[in-house]
Chains A and B, each alone.
Chain A
Amino acid sequence: MSLKKRVKISDASREDGQPLVHLQTEDLMPLPAPLNAPRQVPPFSPLSAQVTEKYECLLDDTCVVNVPKPKTKEEEQELVRKFLAGLEKLFQRENNWPFLQPLILTMEHCARCQTCSDACHIYEGSGRNEIYRPTYRAEILRRLYFKYVRHGGLVSQFQHGDIKLNWPLIARLIELSYRCNICRRCAQVCPLGADNGLVARELRKVFSQEMGIAAKELHDKGSMLQLKVGSSTGMTPLVVKDNVNFIDEEMSEKTGIEVKTPWDVEGADVLLIHNAGEFLAWPENPGAFAVILNAAGVKWTLSSELLAYDSINYGLFYDDMQFARVALRHAQAAKKLKVKKIVLGECGHAHKALSVIGDRLLLGDLNIPRESSMTLLHDIVMSDRLKLDPSQNDFPVTLHDPCNLVRLMGVVQPQRDILYKICPKFREMEPHGVNNYCCGGGSGFAIMKGCNFPDWRFQVSGRKKLAQILNAFADSLGPDKPKYICAPCSNCKGQFRDMLAYYDLWEKEKILYGGLVELIVNAMTDVKPGFIDWEWH
């Protein structure tokens, strides 16, 4: 039986120690064939008693930040005090100049008309669960802003509504700030230009920058590990070089042409920075880049400088300081090599981090031009510098638009032009381009695997994208017809890998995922046929 009910804003302060909602499969948005029968969908695993005893899991039936429960009332009060201090700093020029203007405008002008709710894939995927509305967390922050930052009294309560600040509210807000992919589709439809997606990020900042609370995959195992050893994968420069040597050998064997990745070439035209996850999870992607760039005669290089072989910048999702630290080191490595430009590999958030958000942080000689690999590949493919045979890609292909690359950076057409040229059975998802839906793994979710969060990630946040994929391949369903999701983003590929496996869609439907460069090499006539090997990985 459905337990869905209308949760009020005031419920977020409830002190009963219970989650605000329980997720029921029958409440979720229906999926198209072949997942339209309930038994096709795996059950939602409950949180273990150990987890619920130890951590604050007061929001829904999952837990991702794993905030330990305070042991005493004094500890609770201290956390509330810290939160209030962080809240104040969030609206101060000295502390939050990077996002003060958009945040204040969002706080002061949202009309709470709910236009954004219908644009949100999480809200829709959840079967319109109240707590996943973009406005739910934003409304809580808005009321806190007017009450505690603007010090509004009764008139302010009349104007903006009231909210009770206590530890349960903060514990729920911490989790709630990690129930948004920050894809900003909500902001795109807002008639007033308010940005409730930004609110999730700004809340994460208060928790990280003031309270030292963040998802461990983003902070401890993410930006901190990257700053320590050079990559959030844990790879040091020596290890990454070793891995790339191995990839070169594999690629040489696979393609029949010698593949050699250049390292630390001073004065190169292009410093290519991959998401280092590619070297481990999808080595054919950096391998395919090497094949293409070498064949096209590009003067390029990788850098073995600390951090410069990993374009990941998880600070983008939760912490301005960590973001700036990583962006700065990427630029410093490029400056050291005296390259003409930085080209970002197939990683959406790395594109946005270094090209868009980092743009105004890189001053003076650190402001080295940054370019998307989509643009460079477009130039190579469309100028016929490679011999390509589209018939080698004669299988259904659809394109996933990574939000960071498309809606948030405007790189929309180059990858499409390439696919139209080399994939005769290319078809779009609907909607696509800047109106795309997030894969459900955005803002770091794709790497978050704690407790039962993957259940939520595949059943709720990834649900809309899954429906889009199945609809795009509706004319070619069945295990006898291999199909390819082109996802030029490591984070999105991580989400697809895990989500397709979760629903067993490789076995049942032969739906594979991969990048754009793999399709290009697969179409190259100078290399051995069959670069895409149609094996699950």
Chain B
Amino acid sequence: MTVVLSAVVYAGGLVFLVGCALRIRQYSRAPLHLRWELYPVPHEAPERAKHGGSYFEELDWWKHTRHYNLSGDLRFMIPEMVFLKGLWEFNRKLWSRSFPFHFGLYLLIGSGGLLGASALVSIWHPVWTAGGIWFVIHAIYKYAGLAGASLAVLGSLGLLIRRLTDDNLTNYTAPADLFNLLFFSTTFSLLLTGYFVNASRFPGMLAFTRHLITFRSTPWIPDLLVAGIVLLAILTAYIPYTHMSHFIGKYFTYHSIRWDDAVNFPGGKIEKRFAEYLTYRPTWSAPHIRADGTKTWADVVQENPAKEPHR
């Protein structure tokens, strides 16, 4: 049983990683776009970042060395990622449901990571599993996992109810939006109930994880927990192929677009990439464009449709 379960869990993880890799490849291979930043840009110099200013506020800005203010980025990103600060500011009603959901997932991911690491340690260096610190670690992943699953269930149900009842959202709700939230709440509910049902017979998550890693059979696992784990593996595999992969998309929307204020200096890397794009051959067919599939972008933009006869 555990062997099959191990295979399902690993397959889910593998499909997830492939999906994420494909997404990352798709976005990172997209051509560098024209500048389209939005201020404030937090990596600006602190004296300008506080009012949302840019280097354009400096006289002869191109003569000054620019310093990338990484701490500004981090000061924005950490509260945004951990606490969903933007939602807190601009959509408090949604935050009250979305934050528990996301924070629950973070706790679960952290708990899963700690559990996996503990299982590895207990396999390779069982001698390290003695002592007080081990009990603390055990308690952390246990309670973080339980809290995380509970929050994720509550959050996903809250989001589901909002999707179903809020007039502002119904117009924009596809069947999959409801399905996804139901999927999350069912999966984590099963994991929670599966954990608590007949807990005395279950050898515990650490033993179970060890067996997953070593492909050994666990003596007894509650059916509900098995169902929860299978659903979790499927859910994990499914996420990167939906808009729920926004944890990847968000990196690009912020770092590659919203905060991309990189200057095109003569002879620089940006110039080289744009010189290549200007050799592409557009096929837009409105008469004023004058593109016929043979001319390059550089040719087309040199033409003056108001002056020169159409060749």
**Residues of A that sit less than 8 Å from B by CB:** 6, 8-9, 82, 85-86, 89, 93-95, 97-102, 104-106, 108-115, 117-119, 130, 135, 139, 158-161, 184, 187-195, 198, 208-212, 219, 224-225, 227-228, 321-322, 324-325, 328, 341, 355-365, 367, 369, 371-372, 374-376, 378-379, 406-414, 433-434
Is B94 in contact with A360, judged by CB distance below 8 angstroms?
A: no
Chain A residue numbers with a CB within 8 Å of B307 are 227-228
Interface residues on B, range: 35 or more
Is A367 in contact with B264, judged by CB distance below 8 angstroms?
A: yes
Chain A residue numbers with a CB within 8 Å of B211 are none
**Would you give the shortest CB distance from B195 to chain A, in whole angstroms?**
30
Is B51 in contact with A93, judged by CB distance below 8 angstroms?
A: no
Is A409 in contact with B288, judged by CB distance below 8 angstroms?
A: no
**CB < 8 Å neighbour of A412 from B52, B280, B289:** B52
Q: Which of B2-10, B129-137, B200-208, B247-255 contacts A (4 or more CB under 8 A)?
A: B247-255
> In the assembly, what is the distance between CA of A198 and CA of B33, in Å?
13
**CB < 8 Å neighbour of A194 from B35, B44, B253:** B253
**Would you give the shortest CB distance from A384 to chain B, in whole angstroms?**
15
Which of A98, A158, A160, A414 has the most chain B CB atoms closer than 10 A to its own CB?
A98
Is A105 in contact with B249, judged by CB distance below 8 angstroms?
A: yes
A383 and chain B: residue at smallest CB distance: B59
Which of B38, B245, B287, B302 has the most chain A CB atoms closer than 10 A to its own CB?
B38
**Would you give the shortest CB distance from B264 to chain A, in whole angstroms?**
5
> In the assembly, what is the distance between CA of A356 and CA of B36, in Å?
8
Is B250 in contact with A192, judged by CB distance below 8 angstroms?
A: yes
Q: Assuming A93-B31, A184-B38, A357-B35, is B51 touching A109 (CB within 8 A)?
A: no
**CB < 8 Å neighbour of B257 from A102, A158, A433:** A102
Q: Check B305 for interface membership: any CB of A closer than 8 A.
A: yes
Q: Which of B84-92, B115-123, B212-220, B222-230 contacts A (4 or more CB under 8 A)?
A: B84-92
> In the assembly, what is the distance between CA of A208 and CA of B52, in Å?
33
Which residues 31-86 in B have Cβ within 8 Å of A in the complex?
31-41, 44, 48, 51-62, 84, 86
Q: Check B285 for interface membership: any CB of A closer than 8 A.
A: yes
> In the assembly, what is the distance between CA of A228 and CA of B303, in Å?
12
> In the assembly, what is the distance between CA of A108 and CA of B26, in Å?
12
Is B252 in contact with A89, judged by CB distance below 8 angstroms?
A: no
Is A375 in contact with B34, judged by CB distance below 8 angstroms?
A: no
Is B256 in contact with A101, judged by CB distance below 8 angstroms?
A: yes
Is B289 in contact with A321, judged by CB distance below 8 angstroms?
A: yes
Is A412 in contact with B57, judged by CB distance below 8 angstroms?
A: yes
Is B306 in contact with A211, judged by CB distance below 8 angstroms?
A: no
Q: Assuming A113-B94, A410-B56, is B288 touching A434 (CB within 8 A)?
A: no
Is A410 in contact with B48, judged by CB distance below 8 angstroms?
A: yes
Q: Check B281 for interface membership: any CB of A closer than 8 A.
A: yes
Chain B residue numbers with a CB within 8 Å of A191 are 84, 86-87, 90-91
Chain B contact residues, majority secondary structure: loop
> In the assembly, what is the distance between CA of A398 and CA of B311, in Å?
52
8 inter-chain pairs at a CB distance below 8 angstroms, sorted by A residue, are A190-B253, A198-B36, A228-B306, A359-B34, A359-B263, A406-B39, A410-B41, A410-B55
A95 and chain B: residue at smallest CB distance: B282
Q: Check B270 for interface membership: any CB of A closer than 8 A.
A: yes
Q: Assuming A208-B286, A408-B39, A410-B41, is B30 touching A359 (CB within 8 A)?
A: no
> In the assembly, what is the distance between CA of A409 and CA of B35, in Å?
10
Q: Assuming A209-B286, A227-B306, A359-B264, is B169 touching A434 (CB within 8 A)?
A: no
Is B283 in contact with A115, judged by CB distance below 8 angstroms?
A: no
Is A412 in contact with B306, judged by CB distance below 8 angstroms?
A: no
> In the assembly, what is the distance between CA of A106 and CA of B249, in Å?
9
Is A101 in contact with B252, judged by CB distance below 8 angstroms?
A: yes
Task: Please provide the 4 A-B residue pairs with the shortest distance between their CB atoms, ordered closest to farther.
Answer: A410-B54, A193-B253, A434-B52, A228-B306
Is B172 in contact with A434, judged by CB distance below 8 angstroms?
A: no
Chain A residue numbers with a CB within 8 Å of B44 are 410
B249 and chain A: residue at smallest CB distance: A109
Supply 5 further A-B pairs (C-beta < 8 A) apart from A158-B175, A369-B61.
A98-B34, A115-B86, A191-B91, A224-B288, A357-B35
Chain B residue numbers with a CB within 8 Å of A410 are 37, 39-41, 44, 48, 52-57, 261
B172 and chain A: residue at smallest CB distance: A112
Q: Check B171 for interface membership: any CB of A closer than 8 A.
A: yes
**CB < 8 Å neighbour of A414 from B57, B87, B245, B263:** B57
**CB < 8 Å neighbour of A411 from B26, B53, B172:** B53
Is B91 in contact with A161, judged by CB distance below 8 angstroms?
A: no
**Would you give the shortest CB distance from B160 to chain A, in whole angstroms?**
14
Chain A residue numbers with a CB within 8 Å of B30 are 93, 100-101, 104
Is A160 in contact with B176, judged by CB distance below 8 angstroms?
A: yes
B275 and chain A: residue at smallest CB distance: A363
**Would you give the shortest CB distance from A489 to chain B, in whole angstroms?**
15
**Would you give the shortest CB distance from A410 to chain B, in whole angstroms?**
3
> In the assembly, what is the distance between CA of A102 and CA of B30, in Å?
9
Which of A135, A193, A362 has the most chain B CB atoms closer than 10 A to its own CB?
A193
B89 and chain A: residue at smallest CB distance: A189
> In the assembly, what is the distance between CA of A109 and CA of B53, in Å?
28
Is A109 in contact with B243, judged by CB distance below 8 angstroms?
A: yes
Is B51 in contact with A225, judged by CB distance below 8 angstroms?
A: no
> In the assembly, what is the distance between CA of A116 and CA of B301, in Å?
35
Is B167 in contact with A411, judged by CB distance below 8 angstroms?
A: no
**Would you give the shortest CB distance from B43 to chain A, in whole angstroms?**
12
Chain A residue numbers with a CB within 8 Å of B301 are 321, 324-325, 328, 361
Is B172 in contact with A321, judged by CB distance below 8 angstroms?
A: no
Is B174 in contact with A224, judged by CB distance below 8 angstroms?
A: no
**Would you give the shortest CB distance from B283 to chain A, in whole angstroms?**
6
**Would you give the shortest CB distance from B21 to chain A, in whole angstroms?**
16
Chain B residue numbers with a CB within 8 Å of A6 are 167, 171
**Would you give the shortest CB distance from B114 to chain A, in whole angstroms?**
28
Is B257 in contact with A105, judged by CB distance below 8 angstroms?
A: yes
**Would you give the shortest CB distance from B59 to chain A, in whole angstroms?**
5
Q: Check B304 for interface membership: any CB of A closer than 8 A.
A: yes
Q: Assuming A356-B37, A360-B34, is B27 touching A115 (CB within 8 A)?
A: no
> In the assembly, what is the distance between CA of A219 and CA of B288, in Å?
10
Per-residue interface assignment for chain B, residues 262 to 282, with 1 indicating a CB less than 8 Å from any chain A CB and 0 otherwise: 011110001100110110111
**Would you give the shortest CB distance from A276 to chain B, in whole angstroms?**
16
Chain B residue numbers with a CB within 8 Å of A113 are 91, 94, 169
Chain B residue numbers with a CB within 8 Å of A365 are 266
Is A363 in contact with B243, judged by CB distance below 8 angstroms?
A: no
Chain B residue numbers with a CB within 8 Å of A371 are 56, 59-61
Is A360 in contact with B250, judged by CB distance below 8 angstroms?
A: no
Chain A residue numbers with a CB within 8 Å of B176 are 158-160
Q: Check B284 for interface membership: any CB of A closer than 8 A.
A: yes
> In the assembly, what is the distance between CA of A360 and CA of B58, in Å?
20
Q: Assuming A109-B249, A321-B300, is B54 touching A409 (CB within 8 A)?
A: yes
Q: Check B242 for interface membership: any CB of A closer than 8 A.
A: yes
> In the assembly, what is the distance between CA of A158 and CA of B174, in Å?
6
Is B91 in contact with A112, judged by CB distance below 8 angstroms?
A: no
Is A189 in contact with B250, judged by CB distance below 8 angstroms?
A: no
> In the assembly, what is the distance between CA of A341 and CA of B59, in Å?
11
Is A209 in contact with B257, judged by CB distance below 8 angstroms?
A: no
Chain A residue numbers with a CB within 8 Å of B256 are 101
Is A105 in contact with B304, judged by CB distance below 8 angstroms?
A: no
Q: Check B138 for interface membership: any CB of A closer than 8 A.
A: no
